[in-house]
Amino acid sequence: MTVAAPRFSIVTPVFDPPARALEEMIDSVRSQTFGDWELILVDDRSTQAHVLPILRGAAEADARIRVIERADNGHIVRASNDGIEAARGEFVVLVDHDDLLVDVALERMAAAIDAEPEADYLYSDEDKVDDDGNLYDRFRKPDWSPERLRGQMYTSHLSVLRTSLVREVGGFHEGFDGSQDHDLVLRVTERARRVVHVPEVLYHWRVVPGSAAGDPEAKPYAWTAGKNAVQAHLERCGIDATADYGPVPGTYTVERHARPDGLVSVIIPTRGGEGIVWGERRVFVVEAVRSLLRHAGDVDLEVVVVYDGVTPPAVLDELRAVAGEKLLLVRYDKPFNYSEKCNIGALRSHGRWLVMLNDDVEVVTPRFVQRLVAPLLEEGVGMTGARLLFPDGTLQHAGVVYRRGDPGHAYYGDFDDELGVANALVLDRECSALTGACMAMSRKVFDQVGGFSELLPVNFNDTDLSLKVAACGLRLVWLHAAKAFHFESKTRVAVVHAWEHELLKSRWPSRPRDPYMPAERAV
């Protein structure tokens, strides 16, 4: 008699877990409100006498539970692959031998699959559970963020993968023990039709002595394996980049080496203003251009300065002396409209790539322009933005986040050396919008979305442009290591007129939950 394939195959490699933790894990599966599952427990030649009796007893008590007893200890990759080979379900669900599923976990995942039939990978939020059963450290995860996945295995638990695709990519690969799930998810999502985030805690990750949940430094080999997994992913995707260790265990940096093909036009609106910075008077646009040229990197550069008629001639002369043949001056004699100035600069420029830059910026990171443009060479990336700091070293821009339905700067005013929730400030990642003070995009995309809306002359023009790019199905990527100072005064009261706010809201629906930073700060 043919046994009907279940919806879910829960695969759990087992090696010497504490008896109570193992029993509770099995009970959490048996307590599921959605009953169309099988649990495949793969014993990896456990040495503790209590393990096999618990596994065998569970299989006797519930026909949906199967036990595979390995003849030798092959470690987590081989044990997991045994489970995948035996899986009969449409989807594989990865559960560790001492963790817990929330009772509605499979019900929620089944509903998400029904809503998105092309979903090939799904993941949920998670939290931690201590030995006394206390829950803490909820991780409200971003929606699908492929750039962030390169810098951190953020999807982790609960992971649900289409079985056929897991087999197609070869299951778990040897050599990635400790980060085998990161490697697998990278390979699966390279081919997945849809990746779905279920924004609800469906998994409790148990914290025990020596576990990665309680101490990220407990398994240093896992960090190395993760770095190697990211490097292999970059090579498969044809991205000319090097993966390295990030500043925090479990995080990674991606240093792209690609040189932009074609001219990069940096568009800087100005009226030639000056002020005192760090005790010295400067003409902002001159120093912005000077720092830009110093740190642009290996690019063919054009500097397009769109200047008001009130700009002192001496400032224009100094710009000519600093930038020489790279400089293109464009006069603007209308009432102030930031959007129009940028659009005119783009129209007059010659570059394949466009960088919008405020005149009160000082670039400090080497290869700054090259860093901004390199991700744009990859399919699916529509816009990039930089890390901007106030003169006192606090954050001005780390991406735009929606709070209570309105856009604002993420981590505004936090210190530059802070990590952010789940290390968000040391990771390249997707975001909802980017600031016009420093953003890069291709001319093709800029033209496709119609540039900046001149109906928004002062505020929200950058958010509007970002949302137009995102509406084309393109990703907006904030680059944590592309750094510049922005001398916009923190004490200046920003004047936002009600009509500007209403116009933005009329063009774009409000977002009660930010898709990429649902928990910008710890709660």
Q: How many CB atoms lie within 10 A of CB 95?
A: 23
The separation between the first and the last C-alpha atoms of the chain, rounded to the nearest angstrom, is 53
Q: What is the mean pLDDT of residues 459-481?
A: 97
Q: Which of 100-109, 201-210, 275-284 has the lowest mean pLDDT?
A: 201-210
Residue 218: pLDDT band (50, 70, 90) is: low
For the cut 50, the answer to whether the pLDDT of residue 491 exceeds it is: no
Residue 1: pLDDT band (50, 70, 90) is: very low
Residue 235 lies in a domain: no
**Are residues 106 and 183 both part of a single domain?**
yes
Q: Is 0.85 topped by the overall pTM? A: yes
Residue 223 lies in a domain: no
Residue 229 lies in a domain: no
- Residue 206 lies in domain: 8-217
Sorted by sequence, the CB contacts under 8 Å of residue 366 that are 6+ apart come out as 295, 297
**Are residues 484 and 348 both part of a single domain?**
yes
Question: Of 217, 234, 251, which residue constitutes the final position of a domain?
Answer: 217
pLDDT of residue 184: 98
**Are residues 213 and 275 both part of a single domain?**
no
> Is omega for the bond preceding 395 within 30 degrees of 0, making it cis?
no
Q: What is the mean pLDDT of residues 288-314?
A: 97
**Are residues 488 and 412 both part of a single domain?**
yes
For the cut 50, the answer to whether the pLDDT of residue 388 exceeds it is: yes
Question: Of 150, 182, 217, which residue constitutes the final position of a domain?
Answer: 217
Residue 245 lies in a domain: no
Residue 521: pLDDT band (50, 70, 90) is: confident
Residue 249: exposure state from Cβ atoms within 10 A (0-12, 13-18, ≥19): middle
Query: What's phi and psi for 58, nearest 5 deg?
Result: -65, -40
pLDDT of residue 11: 98
**Are residues 62 and 186 both part of a single domain?**
yes
Residue 519: pLDDT band (50, 70, 90) is: confident
Residue 42 lies in a domain: yes
**Are residues 97 and 166 both part of a single domain?**
yes
For the cut 70, the answer to whether the pLDDT of residue 408 exceeds it is: yes
Sorted by sequence, the CB contacts under 8 Å of residue 438 that are 6+ apart come out as 355, 356, 357, 358, 361, 372, 385, 386, 388, 397, 484, 486
For the cut 70, the answer to whether the pLDDT of residue 183 exceeds it is: yes
Q: Which two tokens stand for residue 64?
A: 């949906």
* C-alpha angle 428-432-435 in degrees, rounded to nearest 5: 80
Query: What's phi and psi for 309, nearest 5 deg?
Result: -60, -20
**Are residues 369 and 480 both part of a single domain?**
yes
For the cut 60, the answer to whether the pLDDT of residue 490 exceeds it is: no
**Are residues 368 and 440 both part of a single domain?**
yes
Per-residue 3-state assignment (H helix, E strand, C coil) for 239-307: CCEEEEECCCCCEEEEEECCCCCCEEEEEEEECCCEEEECCEEEEHHHHHHHHHHHHCCCCEEEEEEEE
- Residues 116-169 pLDDT 10s: 999 999 999 999 999 889 999 999 999 999 999 999 999 999 999 999 999 999
Q: Which of 249-253, 316-320, 501-505 has the lowest mean pLDDT?
A: 501-505
Residue 275 lies in a domain: yes
Residue 258 lies in a domain: no
- Residues 307-360 pLDDT 10s: 999 999 999 999 999 999 999 999 999 999 999 999 999 999 999 999 999 999
Residue 15: pLDDT band (50, 70, 90) is: very high
pLDDT of residue 209: 63
**Are residues 88 and 196 both part of a single domain?**
yes
For the cut 60, the answer to whether the pLDDT of residue 430 exceeds it is: yes
**Are residues 393 and 293 both part of a single domain?**
yes
Q: Are strands 241-245 and 8-14 parallel, antiparallel or unpaired?
A: unpaired
Average per-residue pLDDT for the chain = 94
Higher pLDDT, 217 or 515: 515
pLDDT of residue 214: 54
Q: What is the mean pLDDT of residues 43-65?
A: 96
For the cut 60, the answer to whether the pLDDT of residue 87 exceeds it is: yes
Residue 186 lies in a domain: yes
Q: Are strands 429-430 and 274-277 parallel, antiparallel or unpaired?
A: unpaired
Please report, rounded to a whole number, the percentage of residues in the chain having pLDDT higher than 90.
90
Q: How many CB atoms lie within 10 A of CB 297?
A: 18
What is the CATH classification number for the domain harbouring 78? 3.90.550.10
Please report, rounded to a whole number, the percentage of residues in the chain having pLDDT higher than 70.
96
Structural domain count of the chain: 2
**Are residues 211 and 271 both part of a single domain?**
no
**Are residues 47 and 156 both part of a single domain?**
yes
